[in-house]
Copies of this chain bind each other. A is one copy, B any other.
Amino acid sequence: MIGVIRVFTTEDDEVLEQHGKVISDRYRVPTINKCIPNQPLGIFNDETEKIAVPKIVELGKILQQDGCEVLVISCAADPAIEELRSEVTIPVIGAGSSASLTALAIGQPVGVLGITDTPPAIIKNLLGDLMIGYARPEGVSNTTDLMTPSGREKGLEAARSLLDQGAKGIVFACTGFSTIGLADVLRKTLNVYIIDAVEAEGLYAASLYQ
């Protein structure tokens, strides 16, 4: 079983299981999804990341005890990844590093699409010169904004702006884009490869699990 750690709090099972469903559907592997407690707005700045770290570590340890063979921290900022790796004996995969390392394997210049002012440090540091630009869909600053009818349209516009800058592919720096299915919209509309962070974390987790 692959344990998927969601870094916000929800009591809605469909929302909770959304990332695991992407991974299970795409790679035919079993997943179990769990979320951290008392943080309904998730991680959106340094302070909320700091508060989340011990919760992520605790949840990861429980998932290993429950029999998971691989853990995924399903957030593009890879919160608590080093802390959790030092506390469990099974592999821990992060969404942000997974997306970035996949881009490095392809080796072509990419644009990064996110919802924060700047890309997560892990993505910026790993991509280095391969990142030719960063864009945020207009009017979007949290995952709830993405769910509005215009979320996908604004995402498409932002991706186009990155291609105009010379990007050959797009890296998602927010797992919320997976929730709205933006990757398939972009793949159908633009003739470039799209690295969806949830698909990328699933790629590594599934290859370890098999």
The residues of A with any CB-CB pair to B shorter than 8 Å are: 81-82, 85, 91-93, 97-98, 101-102, 104-108, 193, 199, 203-204, 207-208
**Chain A: interface secondary structure?**
helix
Chain B residue contacts of A193, Cβ below 8 A: 91, 208
**CB proximity of A108 to chain B, nearest CB, Å:** 6
Q: Could you tell me the distance between the alpha carbons of A106 and B204 in the complex, rounded to whole angstroms?
A: 8
How many copies, total? 2
Chain B residue contacts of A204, Cβ below 8 A: 102, 105-106
Given known A-B contacts A203-B203, A208-B193, A93 and B105 have beta carbons under 8 A apart: yes
**CB proximity of A20 to chain B, nearest CB, Å:** 18
The reply to whether A85 and B107 contact each other, CB–CB distance below 8 Å, is yes
Of all chain B residues, the one with the shortest Cβ separation from A195 is B207
Of all chain B residues, the one with the shortest Cβ separation from A81 is B107
Q: Could you tell me the distance between the alpha carbons of A92 and B105 in the complex, rounded to whole angstroms?
A: 8
The reply to whether B91 and A101 contact each other, CB–CB distance below 8 Å, is no
Q: List 27 A-B contacts (CB under 8 A).
A: A81-B107, A82-B107, A85-B107, A85-B108, A91-B106, A91-B107, A91-B108, A91-B193, A92-B107, A93-B105, A93-B106, A97-B104, A97-B105, A98-B105, A101-B101, A101-B102, A101-B104, A101-B105, A102-B204, A102-B207, A105-B204, A106-B204, A106-B208, A193-B208, A199-B207, A203-B203, A203-B207
Q: Could you tell me the distance between the alpha carbons of A203 and B102 in the complex, rounded to whole angstroms?
A: 10
